Amino acid sequence: MPAKRIAIVTSSTRRPRLNPTITHYIYDVLLADPTIPTNHHPATSTDSSNSTDTDPRHVIFEILDLSTQSLPLYDESVIPASLPTSNPAPHYSKAHTRAWSNTVQKYDAFIFVTPQYNWSIPASLKNALDYLFHEWKGKPAGIVTYGSRGGVKAAEHLRGILTGLRMRVVGTAPGLPVKYTGLPVGMLSEEEERVELDKRDLQGWREAGVEGMMRNLGMELVCELDKGVSQ
Ligand SMILES: Cc1cc2nc3c(=O)[nH]c(=O)nc-3n(C[C@H](O)[C@H](O)[C@H](O)COP(=O)(O)O)c2cc1C
């Protein structure tokens, strides 16, 4: 039985940005937790097949970066929720929507990692969510936010949106207050460099139990996946 695939979604798309650094940090925390039944898998690989894996609880975490999807602002004439449930992809008129639909269909669950933009989520994330409906519906979802106060308002908005998409949003939603970590001035390379997390932020998150919350979130997703996908 192939391990279930959990996408850790990098949601902001500007250059440069902090989101890839935060996403990789979360990936590392989840992979280092011995209680989460991971089938260890490189972050960049797309091959989820493992014919020798017989543990039905096994999961693999993969990073899914919205900036690689090249989605324009929503440009389909259809309303995704009104399409046939079984396979909506052929009903989309645009190749980028069909590609995005096929990508999302491959995953069993999602952790959306997002900054707070003006008390909400970035338009890039809302846009990517709006493109589809049945591909999200019934799947477990987790939320991790960051911002000067942890991005609580973004988390509230995102929870409402994901609930509207009929996703099964787990309760734990860690928020990372970013006080010291920042984008170096003049960092404008197209070849995006990874920003270093400031040790003071890391220490603050550990002391506030944020890493423990991430591990709880991971286990909540594993438990939801154990129950199966409800459509
Ligand atoms: C358009 C915009 C709006 C923002 N609004 C907020 C906000 O409401 N609250 C907050 O704490 N930080 C806010 N910030 C600061 C971001 O949390 C910070 O810039 C973070 O690095 C953004 O993530 P990114 O680099 O991955 O885009 C905002 C940043 C941008 C670019």
Q: How far, in whole angstroms, is CA 5 from its chain's centroid?
A: 12
CA-to-CA dists, residue 2 to 119, 157, 218, 227, angstroms: 39, 33, 18, 16
What structural domains does the chain harbor?
Answer: 4-227 (3.40.50.360)
Beta bridge partners of 140: 168
Residue nearest to atom 15 of ligand 1 (CA): 147
Indicate which atom in ligand 1 lies nearest the CA of residue 118. Answer: 8
Indicate which atom in ligand 1 lies nearest the CA of residue 182. Answer: 21
How far apart, in whole angstroms, are the C-alpha atoms of residue 172 and residue 218?
9
How far apart, in whole angstroms, are the C-alpha atoms of residue 96 and residue 176?
32
| Burial grade of 118 (CB within 10 A; 0-12, 13-18, 19 or more) | exposed
182 C-alpha to ligand 1 centroid (Å): 11
Residue nearest to atom 21 of ligand 1 (CA): 18
Residue nearest to atom 1 of ligand 1 (CA): 117
pLDDT at 91: 94
Q: Confirm or reject: Cβ of 206 under 6 Å from ligand 1.
A: no
Enumerate residues 6+ apart whose C-beta is below 8 A from 149. Answer: 175, 177
DSSP H helices in the chain: 19-31, 95-105, 123-130, 152-164, 199-207, 210-227
What is the per-residue pLDDT across 187-225, written as a single tens digit (0 to 9) for each?
655 566 678 899 999 999 999 999 999 999 999 999 999
pLDDT of 53 over the 70 cut: no
Residue nearest to atom 27 of ligand 1 (CA): 17
How far apart, in whole angstroms, are the C-alpha atoms of residue 199 and residue 181?
8
Span 29-49, average pLDDT:
72
pLDDT at 43: 44
What is the per-residue pLDDT across 57-66, written as a single tens digit (0 to 9) for each?
899 999 999 9
Q: Confirm or reject: Cβ of 18 under 6 Å from ligand 1.
A: yes
Q: Confirm or reject: Cβ of 100 under 6 Å from ligand 1.
A: no
pLDDT at 231: 47
Specify whether the CB–CB gap between 133 and 88 falls below 8 A. Answer: yes
Specify whether the CB–CB gap between 113 and 63 falls below 8 A. Answer: no
State how beta strands 175-177 and 168-169 pair. Answer: unpaired
What is the per-residue pLDDT across 96-133, written as a single tens digit (0 to 9) for each?
999 999 999 999 999 999 999 999 999 999 999 999 99
What is the per-residue pLDDT across 141-181, written as a single tens digit (0 to 9) for each?
999 999 999 999 999 999 999 999 999 999 999 999 999 99
